């Protein structure tokens, strides 16, 4: 793959497929079914077909140690150019971050990202304002949407080629910015940031809610599963609504404010699992309003442990409006079809 965008090569769609998505420890401790490589290979294959049909002339697929892209292309014949990038070799979320940044530099017009909340966060870490179809193939799927890969690819191809106007068929998602003392770089999340009172980072996924003390969520919708479901039970906030929510867990103190907001709830914290949770307080957040979380503990970003805070170390968390541009799949497909098949208005009664 070349290192500079070649405008003469035609409109391009990038496909990021995380081989680790849907295989974390939560699959062993809940009722969820692991997502096999075969499922991902089939989704990549269908997304390629859809992207070419939608108007893309190039499709670039992220490389990985499991060779998902190569296996998806075996025996597939489509017009245009389809290639798999060289794997970056980390076999972690870093691969998805680097693939997204590479796609941006290659002049890709839209990305189809296969994975859960963690994979989508990795893609946005690599390309913050990516035109994105987030395809749900993970354990926690709050941010990505359950869409057939064929039409997801078509929508991305339509946006990349201009057959659908990106300004009309995308919306800009919220993003959570995290600046922690001692961290080498700022981090982001798309759904939630949690403070876990534990220094253990080995298993990155969160499955024991008893150690979670605070949650900052940008998305807390009633049909969420995971830590966002806890916030949604007390103060729902939609993905297109401004701001977010800050929730403190644990028994209420003697403080009058805490006693007034104390709640005992049950929420779907993992697929197939409801848990009892004590909510000590909650606060609605405006865009840009900082929340300071203090150690000792570990910050989880979209359900995965990422940042260790020592005793007295702090992190500032803010929900902001300038995240990725999410492609409305239905709107993009409809816009491309109207342009492709410009029939007049239907005659009433026929």
Q: Bigger pLDDT: 150 or 228?
A: 150
Report pLDDT for 251: 63
Q: Residue 51's closest CA among 104, 80, 21, 13?
A: 13
b/e for 27-43, b at 16 or more Cβ within 10 A? beebebeebeeebbbeb
Report pLDDT for 203: 45
Question: How far is residue 308 CA from its own chain's centroid?
Answer: 22
Report pLDDT for 291: 97
Report pLDDT for 339: 93
pTM as predicted: 0.87
Tokens of 178: 């995290």
Report pLDDT for 313: 94
Segments in the chain forming alpha helices (H): 26-29, 37-54, 68-73, 93-105, 117-126, 149-161, 166-169, 227-234, 256-261, 329-340
pLDDT tens by residue, 256-306: 455 456 688 999 888 888 889 999 999 999 999 999 999 999 999 998 888
Spatial CB neighbours of 255, under 8 Å, sequence gap ≥ 6? none
Report pLDDT for 301: 95
Report pLDDT for 35: 74
Tokens of 303: 């359900």
Report pLDDT for 183: 73
Indicate the CATH number for domain 7-173+323-340.
3.40.50
Q: Bigger pLDDT: 340 or 199?
A: 340
Q: What confidence tier does 92 reach under pLDDT thresholds 50, 70, 90?
A: confident
| Average pLDDT, integer, range 165-189 | 92
Q: What confidence tier does 91 reach under pLDDT thresholds 50, 70, 90?
A: confident
Name the average pLDDT for the chain: 87
Q: What ranges do the domains of the chain cover?
A: 7-173+323-340, 175-320
| Average pLDDT, integer, range 221-245 | 93
| DSSP single-letter state for residue 34 | P
pLDDT tens by residue, 29-45: 455 566 789 999 999 99
Q: What confidence tier does 28 reach under pLDDT thresholds 50, 70, 90?
A: very low
| Average pLDDT, integer, range 217-238 | 92
Q: Does the pLDDT value for residue 202 go beyond 50?
A: no
Q: Does the pLDDT value for residue 201 go beyond 80?
A: no
Q: What confidence tier does 182 reach under pLDDT thresholds 50, 70, 90?
A: confident
Distance CA 74, CA 44 (A): 11
Report pLDDT for 259: 46
Indicate the CATH number for domain 175-320.
2.60.200.30
Q: Worst-scoring range by mean pLDDT, 14-23, 46-55, 340-349? A: 340-349
Q: What confidence tier does 345 reach under pLDDT thresholds 50, 70, 90?
A: low
Report pLDDT for 32: 56
Q: What confidence tier does 2 reach under pLDDT thresholds 50, 70, 90?
A: very low
Report pLDDT for 336: 97
Report pLDDT for 23: 47
Report pLDDT for 93: 87
135, 112 Cβ separation under 8 angstroms: yes
**Distances from the Cα of 230 to the Cα of 147, 172, 273, angstroms:** 25, 24, 13
Q: Does the pLDDT value for residue 116 go beyond 50?
A: yes
Q: Worst-scoring range by mean pLDDT, 18-27, 56-65, 90-99, 271-280? A: 18-27
Q: Bigger pLDDT: 330 or 341?
A: 330
């Amino acid at each position: 793959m070349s290192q500079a965008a070649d405008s003469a090569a035609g409109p391009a769609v990038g496909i990021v497929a995380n081989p680790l998505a849907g295989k974390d420890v939560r699959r062993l401790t809940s009722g969820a079914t692991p997502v096999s490589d075969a499922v991902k290979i089939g989704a990549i294959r269908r997304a390629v077909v859809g992207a070419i049909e939608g108007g893309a002339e190039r499709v670039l697929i992220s490389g990985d140690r499991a060779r998902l892209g190569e296996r998806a292309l075996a025996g597939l014949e489509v017009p245009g150019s389809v290639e798999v990038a060289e794997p970056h070799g980390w076999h972690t979320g870093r691969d998805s971050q680097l693939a997204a940044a590479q796609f941006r530099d290659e002049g890709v017009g839209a990305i189809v990202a296969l994975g859960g909340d963690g994979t989508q966060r990795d893609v946005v870490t690599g390309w913050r304002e990516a035109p994105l179809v987030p395809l749900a193939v993970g354990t926690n799927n709050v941010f990505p949407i359950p869409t057939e890969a064929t039409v997801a690819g078509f929508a991305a191809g339509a946006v990349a080629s201009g057959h659908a106007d990106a300004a009309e068929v995308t919306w800009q998602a919220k993003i959570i910015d995290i600046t922690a003392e001692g961290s080498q770089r700022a981090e982001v999340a798309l759904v939630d940031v949690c403070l876990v009172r534990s220094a253990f980072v080995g298993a990155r996924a969160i499955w024991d809610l008893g150690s979670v003390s605070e949650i900052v969520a940008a998305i807390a919708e009633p049909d969420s599963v995971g830590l966002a479901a806890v916030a949604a039970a007390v103060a729902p906030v939609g993905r297109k609504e401004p701001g977010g929510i800050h929730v403190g867990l644990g028994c209420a103190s003697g403080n009058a404010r805490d006693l007034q907001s104390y709640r005992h709830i049950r929420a779907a914290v993992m697929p197939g699992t409801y848990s009892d949770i004590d909510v000590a307080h909650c606060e609605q957040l405006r865009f840009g309003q900082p929340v300071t979380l203090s150690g000792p503990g570990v910050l989880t970003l979209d359900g995965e442990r990422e940042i260790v805070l020592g005793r007295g170390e702090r992190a500032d968390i803010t929900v902001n409006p300038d995240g990725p541009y999410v492609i409305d799949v239905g709107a993009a497909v409809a816009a491309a079809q109207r342009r492709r098949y410009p029939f007049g208005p239907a005659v009433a009664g026929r």
